[in-house]
Amino acid sequence: MSAPISRIVEALEPSATIAMAGKARELKATGRTVCDLSLGEPDFDTPAHIRKAALEAMDSGFTHYTAAGGIVELKTAVVGQYNARHGLDYAPAQVVVSNGAKHALHNAFTVLLNPGDEVIIPAPYWVSYAELVKLTGAVPVIVQTEQAADFKLTPDQLREATTDRTRILLLCSPSNPTGSMYSPEELGELADVVIEKDLVVVADEIYEYLVYEPHQFASFPTVRPGLMDRTILINGVSKTYAMTGWRIGWSLSPLYLAKAMGSLQSQQTSCPCSISQKAAIAALEGPQECIGEMLAEFTRRRQFVIERIASIPGLSCPEMGGAFYAYINIKEHLGRTYGGVQVDDSSAWCLELLNQQNVATVMGSAFGTDGYSRISFATSMENLEAAFDGIEKFIASE
């Protein structure tokens, strides 16, 4: 017997970032040497003092269920960090700690959306946003932004895309996949429309620490008064502290939404991992030098990536103000044959690059804009050098 899958789940696209990383892993298992630039996760080990806190948690028996929305010490550390960095005054009860930022996003959409509601998502967008919205029965409204505008949504575009069904604007700055960042002024102009149209903003700030000079990060609720009442902030330890596998992320939101997300989570997952929560406290409250060290290494790699992209004819990318991705425009290299294979779109381009040169990247179509290929430079310099040699050879084989 083959039972029918629910219509909502059947319509779901699997995560392309995770799928490409899976393909790279499969090829590696066959003995091929693959340069994997697909998955966006820091290649560094989680710093030693954070690992030690987890060991201590286990040894002291902190291995049971916790409060559904996370332990008060971690919530207090989160609000302390937002207060110190951005002057935002949240109470610990406004924090919900989840199994990664992805889970926090899912919670946010689930408590706010009904079938038929609309969520405005500027494209290119991170692969999971639209699918998480669809899981609620709501409708992702994709608004194309332009490379010439550094892939940033304009207030006019936002106004035009808003209907009486629009509930949420999704913002991600620094952006995955493009690395582009909104200035405080640009956020302020979007906030004016948000207020005028009475929208909620889900602001994904997971890359807030990974910002390159001279760019400046501004947390969304700081740009206009009153925005805390209509914003759900998403953040976590995955990227900042190289803790992707620990699965700790969180939201900060108005109390009534935090309560709703806490109830939801109590039925979904019971609580986030107790041991990882203790590790996350050590991350937030321990020495912060590890962030600067990782950022210095990302800065070096970013420079290398910018130079290599500029040196290959027909490739370009928007300026990366933050995060660790380059969103490479490959349009001039489509509609050609590579090693006898016709390549017309970004999906075929990325698959042939992987097949022919063992370089794994993610197709722009997965982020809502064809004609691009995303690379993650959260990988070793050696890997990046080999990958760009492969890209160069691939393009020379057209």
Q: How far is the CB of 108 from ligand GLU (least distance, A)?
A: 16
Does residue 46 touch ligand PMP according to CB under 6 A?
A: no
Residue 178 as a binder of ligand PMP (CB under 6 A): the answer is no
User: Least Å distance between CB 249 and ligand PMP?
Assistant: 4
Q: Considering only CA atoms, which of 124, 206, 149, 222 is closest in space to residue 173?
A: 206
Reported in sequence order, the residue ranges of the chain that DSSP labels E, i.e. its strands, are 35-36, 95-98, 118-123, 139-144, 166-172, 200-204, 231-236, 249-252, 325-329, 336-338, 341-343, 359-360, 362-363, 372-376
As a whole number of angstroms, the distance between CA 253 and CA 219 comes to 13
HEC letters along 280-324: HHHHHHCCCHHHHHHHHHHHHHHHHHHHHHHHCCCCECCCCCECC
Examine residue 126 and tell whether it contacts ligand PMP (CB under 6 A).
yes
Interface pick for ligand PMP out of 21, 35, 38, 40 (rule CB under 6 A): 40
Task: Provide, rounded to whole angstroms, the least separation between the CB of residue 333 and ligand PMP.
Answer: 26
> Interaction with ligand PMP in 59-118: which residues (CB under 6 A)?
100-102
In the complex, minimum distance from the CB of residue 241 to ligand GLU, in angstroms, rounded to a whole number: 15
393 Rama class: left (phi>0) / alpha (psi -120 to 50) / beta: alpha
Partner touching 15 among ligand GLU, ligand PMP, none, CB below 5 to 8 Å by kind: ligand GLU
Interaction residues for ligand PMP, span 242-261 (CB under 6 A): 244, 249
Pairwise CA distance, residues 27 & 353, whole Å: 13
Instruction: Classify residue 268 by burial, with Cβ atoms within 10 Å: 0-12, 13-18, 19+.
Output: middle
Minimum Å gap between C-beta 241 and ligand PMP is 11
Under the criterion CB under 6 A, does residue 162 sit at the interface with ligand PMP? no
Q: Which residue is nearest to ligand PMP (CB)?
A: 100
Kindly state whether residue 182 participates in binding ligand PMP, applying the rule CB under 6 A: no
Whether the Cβ atoms of residue 246 and residue 273 lie closer than 8 Å to each other: yes
127 binds, among ligand PMP, ligand GLU, none (CB under 5 to 8 A by kind): ligand GLU
Least CB distance to ligand PMP at residue 273 (A) = 12
The residue number with the shortest CB distance to ligand GLU is 40
Cβ atoms 172, 126 nearer than 8 A: yes
Binding footprint of ligand PMP, residue count (CB under 6 A): 13
Q: Write down the least CB distance from residue 337 to ligand GLU, Å.
A: 29
Per DSSP, the three-state class of 158 is: helix
Computed on alpha carbons and rounded to an integer, the radius of gyration of the chain in Å comes to 21
Which lies closer to ligand GLU via its Cβ, residue 126 or residue 209?
126
Q: Does 204 help bind ligand PMP (rule: CB under 6 A)?
A: yes
321 binds ligand PMP (CB under 6 A): no
Residue corresponding to tokens 């042939």: 352
